[in-house]
Chains A and B, each alone.
Chain A
Amino acid sequence: ETGVTQSPTHLIKTRGQQVTLRCSSQSGHNTVSWYQQALGQGPQFIFQYYREEENGRGNFPPRFSGLQFPNYSSELNVNALELDDSALYLCASSFRQGAGGELFFGEGSRLTVL
């Protein structure tokens, strides 16, 4: 059984560019969530996907979008990057929709926007 894996682990972009982060969920998990962790903060919920459809969204603008695929992988896309988007982006998978259950996190993708 493989865990949650994310790629890339580190990347640097410039303001205004677009970025795609990828996540491979733990086998058998049908729900994937993305979190943003800024320096010195706890993870903040971006959105959740369940069976390939968005199922909840945090306080993030539409330029943050995502996809979930049938093979359990998912993507986080961020358009028109801003300096404040610099953060660790965490993908988490789980067995069921909704919180109240354990989330399994990947190691994260650290994005730096210059």
Chain B
Amino acid sequence: DQQVKQNSPSLSVQEGRISILNCDYTNSMFDYFLWYKKYPAEGPTFLISISSIKDKNEDGRFTVFLNKSAKHLSLHIVPSQPGDSAVYFCAASDWSQGNLIFGKGTKLSVKP
């Protein structure tokens, strides 16, 4: 029973275009959401987060949107760059738990 779902295992985008990575969750208790990026042979690195009291958070080329009613969030990368090619994990938590629940990840390939 997956509480955090990333239904697209992979995504290929042309350099300069927008990348949109999607994530769905089932637990309405989740109140904090994060995106991590992982390169091969490295640990995941934090990218951006959003609290459930917001519906948008922006940091440079990265924007996360949260739709609580649909239990859906998305990560937008504009413009996409070849260095963005990595596996992106969506993660969620609630303050009563001491851990993050991760999705399976989406492998993004940005082609020059």
Please report A residues at the B interface, Cβ cutoff 8 Å. 4, 31, 33, 35, 40-45, 48, 50, 55-56, 58, 90, 92, 97-100, 102-108
Inside 8 A of B97's CB, which chain A residues have their CB? 56, 98-99
State whether B98 touches A44 (Cβ < 8 A). no
Interface size (B, Cβ < 8 Å)? 28
Q: Which residue of A lies closest to B95 (CB)?
A: A100
Closest residue on chain B to residue A33 by CB atoms: B99
Are B101 and A45 in contact, with the CB atoms below 8 A? yes
By CB atoms of chain A within 10 A, which of B6, B89, B93 has the most? B93
- A99: chain B residues at CB < 8 Å are 32, 93-95, 97-100
Task: From A35, A55, A58, A99, name the one whose CB has the most chain B CB atoms within 10 angstroms.
Answer: A99
**Choice from A56, A90, A104 contacting B99 with Cβ under 8 Å:** A56
**B100 neighbours in A (Cβ, 8 Å):** 43, 45, 99, 103
CB pair B98–A43 under 8 Å, yes or no, is: no
Please measure, in the bound complex, the distance between the C-alpha atom of A23 and the C-alpha atom of B36, giving whole angstroms.
20
Query: In the assembly, what is the distance between CA of A56 and CA of B68, in Å?
Result: 27
Contacts A45-B100, A48-B99, A99-B98; A104 near B93 (Cβ below 8 A) = no
Contact A103 B46 (CB under 8 A): yes
Q: Which residue of B lies closest to A46 (CB)?
A: B99
Tell me the chain B residues, 81-112 only, with Cβ under 8 Å from chain A. Answer: 89, 91, 93-105
A98 to B112, CA, bound (A): 40
